[in-house]
């Protein structure tokens, strides 16, 4: 019984997470957003990645981008990631957001067994203000 209580405590105590970061980020169409996923020391030398949440059974991710070596930024399309091992953090930047970018993403670290990962929801709002300015200018 004590073992069960100890294990339960490890799972729910704050600060035990292997990865920490925002659960949600948001921006408007055309904006740039950045986020930081921090990880524990023992994950420093493991490969980090960012991907869109994929299917249920076989494909957990789609469009996976892997971090380069220390100090190198990896860019694919409108997304860049950088593994700052000195700061124990993975920095992800998405620019020129579109409504299609909205969804759920994984900030992850590969390791033996299941990867350590953090699910992050990205919300993208229409840039209605810009459209209003265009309409005002045509009156």
Which of 23, 18, 47, 51 is CA-nearest to residue 35? 23
Strands 24-28 and 89-94: unpaired
| Strand, coil or helix: 19 | strand
| Per-residue pLDDT at 37 | 98
Cα 38 to its chain centre, rounded Å, is 10
The whole-number pLDDT of residue 71 equals 73
Out of 3-17, 22-36, 109-123, which region has the weakest mean confidence (pLDDT)?
3-17
Q: Decide which of 6 and 19 is more confident.
A: 19
Out of 46-50, 55-59, 119-123, least confident range: 55-59
Going by pLDDT thresholds of 50, 70 and 90, the confidence category of residue 127 is confident
pLDDT of residue 5: 34
More confident residue, 99 or 129: 99
30-78+91-120 CATH pick, 3.40.50.300, 3.40.710.10, 3.40.980.10, 2.60.40.10: 2.60.40.10
Cα separation, 82 vs 67, in Å, equals 6
pLDDT, average across residues 111-125: 95
When computed from its CA atoms, the radius of gyration of the chain, rounded to whole angstroms, is 18
Confidence tier at 27 by pLDDT (50, 70, 90): very high
Measure the CA–CA gap between 92 and 104, rounded to whole angstroms. 14
Give dist(CA 104, CA 24) in Å, integer: 9
Strands 61-66 and 48-53: antiparallel
pLDDT in tens, 49-104: 999 998 666 668 888 999 998 778 999 999 999 999 999 999 999 999 999 999 99
């Amino acid at each position: 019984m004590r073992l069960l209580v100890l294990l339960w405590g490890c799972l729910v105590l704050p600060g035990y997470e292997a990865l920490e970061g925002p659960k949600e980020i948001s921006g408007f169409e055309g904006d740039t957003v950045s986020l930081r996923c921090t990880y524990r020391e023992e994950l420093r030398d493991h490969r980090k990645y960012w991907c869109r949440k994929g299917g249920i059974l076989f494909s957990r991710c789609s469009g996976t981008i892997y971090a380069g070596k220390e100090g190198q930024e990896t860019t694919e399309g409108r997304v860049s990631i950088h593994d700052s091992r000195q700061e124990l953090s993975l920095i992800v930047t998405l620019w020129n957001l579109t409504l299609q970018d909205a969804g759920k993403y994984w900030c992850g670290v590969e390791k033996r067994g299941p990867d350590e990962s953090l699910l992050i929801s990205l919300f993208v709002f229409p840039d209605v203000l810009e459209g209003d300015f265009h309409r005002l200018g045509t009156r």
